[in-house]
Amino acid sequence: MNFSPNNVFIKVQDHSVSKESFDLLFDEELQLLKTFPQPTLDKLPSYYESDDYISHTDSKRTLFEKLYHLVKTNALKNKVALITKQNPSKGNLLDIGAGTGDFLNHAKNSGWNCVGIEPNEKAKNIAISKGVNFTNSLEELENDSFDVITMWHVLEHIPDLENHIKTLKRLIKPNGTIIIAVPNYKSFDARHYDSFWAAYDVPRHLWHFSKTSIQKLFKKENLELNKVKPMWFDSFYVCLLSEKYKTGKMNFIKGFLFGFLSNCSGILKKEYSSHIYILKNT
């Protein structure tokens, strides 16, 4: 990776927790952005300490949170259908960044042998109460253990990106599947909202990916990009939050309008708000 402090793509504020500002540095070859400066490992958890960090809670306090969980229920079914299509005989599934465990719970009920990893204790305890099994660290898992490994909006949070990809390579079985979902900074809604784009989510998002960056980073470990799929509902969620950051209020009409326009742009340009990347171990 080649990031220069002089090659700033955009300056972005942490709108949800600290209100601090960060630079996003650009690696031209990889088409990858890096949050700079990145918080130290001991300070990083403090940026997640907010009741509004929705993936770490099952809260349904507001209309926005209720809509989020309604969409999430449908998305869980689609995610389980996706992994089952990749491996119809099912098998061993590892979900990294399992949150409150709903995806693993659905997969388990569908016949998968599941294990998760989640650093946030609050979210992990909620998942355990649902019967989800966890491992304490990736290092204690054996080589070639999993038929499918999933990371749903998690890779952007990983400090040591290249070593993490090496670990994924170690854990996945030959011909196994790795499924990565991340925001796409080349989408219509990213361009429209600019520094207010909610999916930058600095400094919790340490990296900001494009299709090129995913392909090249995983190619180094002989993990081949097999297919790219859109996450249709992400554009609406991100645009609603972006409107809040930009105007100070949740504007549902504008949020849904620009979410719709982003998906229309994605159909034409193949650059959606978020992508699911399906990678195969060769």
Return the HEC string of the chain. Answer: CCCCCCCEEEEEECCCCCCCEEEEEEECCCCEEEEECCCCCCCHHHHHCCCCCHHHCCCCCCHHHHHHHHHHHHHHHHHHHHHHHHCCCCCEEEEECCCCCHHHHHHHHCCCEEEEECCCHHHHHHHHHCCCCECCCHHHCCCCCEEEEEEECCHHHCCCHHHHHHHHHHHEEEEEEEEEEEEECCCHHHHHHHHHCHHHCCCCCCEEECHHHHHHHHHCCCEEEEEEEECCCHHHHHHHHHHHHHHCCCCHHHHHHHHHHHHHHHHHHCCCCEEEEEEEEC
Q: Where are the domains of the chain?
A: 8-47+60-281
Q: Global pTM?
A: 0.92
Identify whether the C-beta of residue 91 lies closer than 8 Å to the C-beta of residue 110.
no
pLDDT in tens, the chain (282 residues): 888 888 999 999 999 999 999 999 999 999 999 999 999 999 998 998 876 554 545 555 565 556 665 666 788 999 999 999 999 999 999 999 999 999 999 999 999 999 999 998 989 999 999 999 999 999 999 999 999 999 999 999 999 999 999 999 999 999 999 999 999 999 999 999 999 999 999 999 999 999 999 999 999 999 999 999 999 999 999 999 999 999 999 899 999 999 999 999 999 999 999 999 999 998
The fraction of the chain above a pLDDT of 70, given in percent, is: 92
- CATH code for residues 8-47+60-281: 3.40.50.150
